[in-house]
A and B are shown apart, each in its own frame.
Chain A
Amino acid sequence: MHQGAWLLWASCGGLVAITTTNPFYLLPLLAVAWVVHAACARPGPQARSFRIFLIFGALTVCTRTALVLFLPSIQMGHVVEAALEGLRLAVLLVVFGAYNTVSDPFGVLRLSPRRFHEPALAASLALSIAPRTIAAVSTVREAQRLRGIEVGRLRNLVGLAVPVLETGMEEAVVLAESMDARGHGRGRRTHYRPELWGWRATTISVACIGAVTVAAAALLGDDPSLAMSAFPVVWPEVSALMLAAIVALSAPAWLPPAQVARAPR
């Protein structure tokens, strides 16, 4: 799959998520991210990182809701409002998490025009850090368990954080050294096998842009179903068109996987 299509998918998923606080839109969108991750994740350790994004998403909801406690008087509406805002952020995180497992950060880098090479490199490195860090977390947790230290406890957190950050740092330096030693950033660049924008990429793009258009139209048209009323707490309405737009974002999961262009060996 063309990396540009994935980039578009993640951007559109994120855009749709931030337009709404309606749980009947946000939860299906969460499911869509999950389905796409399950169907399209690349093999390797970064596939596991999705779970961590789910956990962080759940933490976001809890933290945002807990902030209500600082209000002078608490009503049910405050809690609902906070939880939904948390949920919106969580969905954004999970969409990003799914993007992380399906895309190749350096594939994106290879797409970038020369002029934007440096910022694209920074972005690719940043994108690759999340999965690397998450893989490191499980290695370190296990290593500490081997000596009887449970890093789940707060006071042992340093035993988790220090090795994760240090090995992450060392790996980043090795990667940067290796890229430079292999001529990265020398100027004129050629492409070995340019990624082809196939019918899959087109299909996904149409679905994604369609979804964003529907969401944008709803936003501009003040569609009442986008926000859930918290004072008083009332279940929101659901527009079938919006739901269809969200379901359309799951297109990558239903397309047959791309065949390798060469004959099987």
Chain B
Amino acid sequence: MPCLDGYDPGDFFDELFMATGTPRPAAAELVKRIESLSIEELQRRQQAAQNMLFKLGVTFNVYSDNQGTERIFPFDVIPRFVPYQEWELLERGLKQRIEALNCFIHDIYNDQKILNDKVIPREMIESATGFLEPCMGLQPPQNIWCHITGTDLIKDRDGSWYVLEDNLRCPSGVSYVLENRRVMKSSFPRFFDALDIQPVDDYASQLLDTLLNLAPSNLSDPCVVVLTPGIHNSAYFEHSFLAQQMGAQLVEGRDLVVADGYLQMRTTKGLRRVDVIYRRIDDDFIDPMAFRADSMLGVSGLMEVYRQGRVAIANAPGTGVADDKMIYAYVPQMIRYYLDEEQLLPNVPTYLCEDDKQREYVLAHLDELVVKATDASGGYGMLMGMHATEPERAAFAEKIKAKPRNYIAQPTLSLSRVPTLIDGQFEGCHVDLRPFILNGQDIYVNPGGLTRVALRRGSLVVNSSQGGGSKDTWVVKESSC
């Protein structure tokens, strides 16, 4: 019996099946390939793939007890399938979005036209925790602010894509994209022979180009570094991996110092100038003189060097303002305002609690909405109304009333599903998708992205800390033959 025979896609959008026994036409070839293997064989390859990831050290840290325990992000061998036509739409939508967001960030830290024209309310910007006063008037190289973005996308029950979060600060996960692909290639080489799967491997080269693009053009050999908080950070593997793949130095704040008006690193041959930083620490921490004085991770005086144009920082400080969930709701207006276009890739409908009418609606429908704190991400500070108890909802309602600016609400979405191997059989599991976008001379969207999958039955939570795993994402062109 073919291993996917009895698989039930349920009352959800399934990425591979329209109904039991009926694959989506575009995915038929892939389904046929999977079915040519027995479930035991798939399990064996799954195990081998997990072992390989562990040996490669593709881990995230659970480092609190100092026992040196790293874990792998659970990995499922059944790929997430995206037909190429759909991908083209995503790609255009993402490019449009990044372009508009970049215009927006540049504008609010400079002329503030969009505020003066009252397209976006001024109080909303000024009250956003991600808005950084010290960044006013900054002109980063080529006016690019958000160089690296990892936009979270989801597909709803009706099969249409939505943008859930923009993640313009320091999105992580791209190392899993690259390593998952490496593992899939050795686990299923024949699949790669037969299907036209878009390669993801040039991400590191593209990233390096994006960073080099920021260096002053008169330098023949600019020095690019990756700035990490250090080995205890949960994404340390990724920082070290990207530095290694780009041949860049991996530095910590204590390796850097501002001297003679430049940012320099302490080397065995004395101080050496640094030209471009890919920073993987938050805005607040990059310069204790400009932001949080208690930061041990950043470099004193870095912002002043940056302001003088003597070092480039990716992503630019201040970029996080557009991660505010209330500002997110205005992206369609930004696209219209800066690009004079309509949004290609829609937002999830969002209710602003600051608005009296919308807040009333939210409070009356708490049991069906998801409420999120505007300045948080990664599943923190939110209420899943449907799954919450009455007292929990009541408590949250008080919080909303006390600080309406801090909350937005969205309908509960029904994330699409993909067959996933659990305990020797296939289950439909919910997924999201985080493609990685680089904004350099052109905007580049890595064809694929991190598919996170909720491995607990029925769960919608894809975060690694809460039973989430990952899948390789295959953007597949239909074969011409």
Partners in one complex: no
Instruction: Please list the residues of chain B having a beta carbon within 8 angstroms of any beta carbon in chain A.
Output: none
Instruction: Please list the residues of chain A having a beta carbon within 8 angstroms of any beta carbon in chain B.
Output: none
